[in-house]
Protein backbone atom coordinates (compact mmCIF):
# COMPACT_ATOMS: atom_id res chain seq x y z
CA UNK A 1 0.00 0.00 0.00
CA UNK A 2 1.44 3.36 -1.04
CA UNK A 3 0.32 6.77 0.13
CA UNK A 4 0.00 9.74 -2.17
CA UNK A 5 1.66 12.77 -0.54
CA UNK A 6 0.37 15.23 -3.18
CA UNK A 7 -2.27 16.83 -0.90
CA UNK A 8 0.46 17.60 1.65
CA UNK A 9 2.56 19.35 -1.00
CA UNK A 10 -0.34 21.73 -1.69
CA UNK A 11 -0.86 22.71 1.94
CA UNK A 12 2.63 22.76 3.47
CA UNK A 13 5.49 25.14 2.98
CA UNK A 14 8.99 24.41 4.20
CA UNK A 15 8.34 20.76 5.09
CA UNK A 16 9.82 19.35 1.87
CA UNK A 17 12.50 17.34 3.69
CA UNK A 18 9.96 15.79 6.08
CA UNK A 19 7.72 14.64 3.23
CA UNK A 20 10.76 13.28 1.36
CA UNK A 21 11.74 11.28 4.46
CA UNK A 22 8.22 9.86 4.79
CA UNK A 23 8.26 8.84 1.13
CA UNK A 24 11.71 7.27 1.54
CA UNK A 25 10.57 5.25 4.58
CA UNK A 26 7.55 3.98 2.67
CA UNK A 27 9.67 3.03 -0.34
CA UNK A 28 12.39 1.23 1.66
CA UNK A 29 9.80 -0.72 3.65
CA UNK A 30 8.81 -2.38 0.36
CA UNK A 31 12.38 -3.45 -0.46
CA UNK A 32 13.75 -6.62 1.11
CA UNK A 33 17.06 -7.24 -0.70
CA UNK A 34 19.71 -7.29 0.57
CA UNK A 35 18.75 -7.87 4.21
CA UNK A 36 20.42 -5.63 6.78
CA UNK A 37 20.61 -4.77 10.48
CA UNK A 38 21.09 -1.35 12.06
CA UNK A 39 22.70 -1.45 15.49
CA UNK A 40 23.32 1.32 18.03
CA UNK A 41 26.70 0.73 19.67
CA UNK A 42 26.47 3.74 21.99
CA UNK A 43 24.93 7.21 22.04
CA UNK A 44 26.91 8.46 19.03
CA UNK A 45 28.03 5.29 17.22
CA UNK A 46 25.99 3.10 14.88
CA UNK A 47 26.66 0.11 12.67
CA UNK A 48 24.85 -1.15 9.57
CA UNK A 49 25.44 -4.82 8.68
CA UNK A 50 24.34 -5.88 5.19
CA UNK A 51 24.22 -9.56 4.14
CA UNK A 52 26.14 -9.78 0.87
CA UNK A 53 26.91 -13.46 0.45
CA UNK A 54 28.61 -14.08 -2.88
CA UNK A 55 29.70 -10.46 -3.44
CA UNK A 56 33.28 -9.23 -3.34
CA UNK A 57 34.39 -5.71 -2.31
CA UNK A 58 35.04 -4.91 -6.00
CA UNK A 59 31.38 -5.58 -6.86
CA UNK A 60 30.01 -3.21 -4.19
CA UNK A 61 30.03 0.61 -4.20
CA UNK A 62 29.36 2.73 -1.12
CA UNK A 63 28.80 6.50 -1.51
CA UNK A 64 27.58 9.34 0.71
CA UNK A 65 26.00 12.48 -0.70
CA UNK A 66 23.92 15.06 1.20
CA UNK A 67 22.98 12.83 4.17
CA UNK A 68 22.14 9.85 1.94
CA UNK A 69 24.25 6.70 2.16
CA UNK A 70 23.92 4.65 -1.04
CA UNK A 71 24.99 1.03 -1.33
CA UNK A 72 25.04 -0.50 -4.80
CA UNK A 73 26.02 -3.99 -5.88
CA UNK A 74 26.50 -5.35 -9.40
CA UNK A 75 27.28 -9.02 -9.87
CA UNK A 76 28.56 -10.11 -13.26
CA UNK A 77 26.70 -13.23 -14.33
CA UNK A 78 28.88 -16.14 -15.37
CA UNK A 79 27.21 -18.70 -17.62
CA UNK A 80 29.82 -21.35 -16.82
CA UNK A 81 27.83 -22.89 -13.96
CA UNK A 82 24.66 -24.96 -14.13
CA UNK A 83 22.62 -24.70 -10.95
CA UNK A 84 20.22 -27.39 -9.78
CA UNK A 85 18.98 -25.03 -7.08
CA UNK A 86 19.86 -21.37 -6.69
CA UNK A 87 18.97 -20.14 -3.21
CA UNK A 88 21.54 -17.37 -2.87
CA UNK A 89 20.51 -14.29 -4.74
CA UNK A 90 23.27 -12.37 -6.46
CA UNK A 91 21.18 -9.86 -8.33
CA UNK A 92 22.12 -6.23 -8.66
CA UNK A 93 20.74 -3.91 -6.00
CA UNK A 94 20.67 -0.33 -4.79
CA UNK A 95 19.83 0.44 -1.16
CA UNK A 96 19.77 3.92 0.36
CA UNK A 97 19.89 5.02 4.00
CA UNK A 98 19.02 8.55 5.07
CA UNK A 99 21.51 9.78 7.67
CA UNK A 100 20.72 12.30 10.38
CA UNK A 101 22.60 15.59 10.47
CA UNK A 102 26.22 15.28 11.60
CA UNK A 103 26.33 11.49 11.12
CA UNK A 104 29.43 10.50 9.18
CA UNK A 105 30.60 7.20 7.71
CA UNK A 106 33.82 6.23 9.48
CA UNK A 107 34.59 3.06 7.53
CA UNK A 108 33.34 -0.17 5.99
CA UNK A 109 34.69 -3.71 5.82
CA UNK A 110 33.64 -7.24 4.86
CA UNK A 111 33.34 -9.71 7.72
CA UNK A 112 31.98 -13.27 7.28
CA UNK A 113 29.77 -12.42 4.29
CA UNK A 114 28.54 -9.18 5.87
CA UNK A 115 29.41 -5.66 4.82
CA UNK A 116 29.80 -3.71 8.08
CA UNK A 117 29.44 0.07 7.81
CA UNK A 118 30.53 2.12 10.83
CA UNK A 119 28.80 5.45 11.50
CA UNK A 120 29.55 8.18 14.04
CA UNK A 121 27.57 11.25 15.05
CA UNK A 122 29.96 14.20 15.47
CA UNK A 123 28.17 17.37 16.51
CA UNK A 124 30.35 20.47 15.92
CA UNK A 125 31.43 22.39 19.03
CA UNK A 126 29.42 25.41 17.91
CA UNK A 127 26.22 23.31 17.96
CA UNK A 128 26.80 21.58 21.31
CA UNK A 129 24.95 22.95 24.35
CA UNK A 130 27.12 25.10 26.59
CA UNK A 131 26.67 26.69 29.99
CA UNK A 132 26.54 30.47 30.05
CA UNK A 133 27.90 32.21 33.14
CA UNK A 134 25.47 34.68 34.64
CA UNK A 135 27.14 37.87 35.78
CA UNK A 136 25.93 39.58 38.90
CA UNK A 137 27.06 40.98 42.18
CA UNK A 138 28.16 38.40 44.70
CA UNK A 139 27.00 38.65 48.31
CA UNK A 140 30.40 40.03 49.42
CA UNK A 141 30.22 42.92 46.94
CA UNK A 142 26.80 44.26 47.92
CA UNK A 143 26.91 47.68 49.66
CA UNK A 144 24.27 48.69 52.12
CA UNK A 145 23.20 52.26 51.66
CA UNK A 146 22.65 53.89 54.96
CA UNK A 147 19.10 54.77 55.48
CA UNK A 148 16.83 55.71 58.28
CA UNK A 149 14.71 53.07 59.86
CA UNK A 150 11.07 53.78 59.46
Let me know the angle formed at the C-alpha of 33 by 47 and 53, rounded to the nearest 5 degrees: 70
Is the pLDDT at 131 greater than 80? The verdict is yes
**What pLDDT does 123 receive?**
83
- Residues 36 and 49 sit within 8 Å (Cβ to Cβ): yes
**What's this model's pTM, rounded to 2 decimal places?**
0.66
Model confidence band, residue 129 (pLDDT cutoffs 50, 70, 90)? confident
C-alpha 60/C-alpha 116 separation (Å) is 12
Amino acid sequence: MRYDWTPLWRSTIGFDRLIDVLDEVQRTAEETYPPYNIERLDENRFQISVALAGFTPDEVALTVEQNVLTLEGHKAEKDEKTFLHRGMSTRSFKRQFTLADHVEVKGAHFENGLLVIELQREVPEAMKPRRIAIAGASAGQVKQIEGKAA
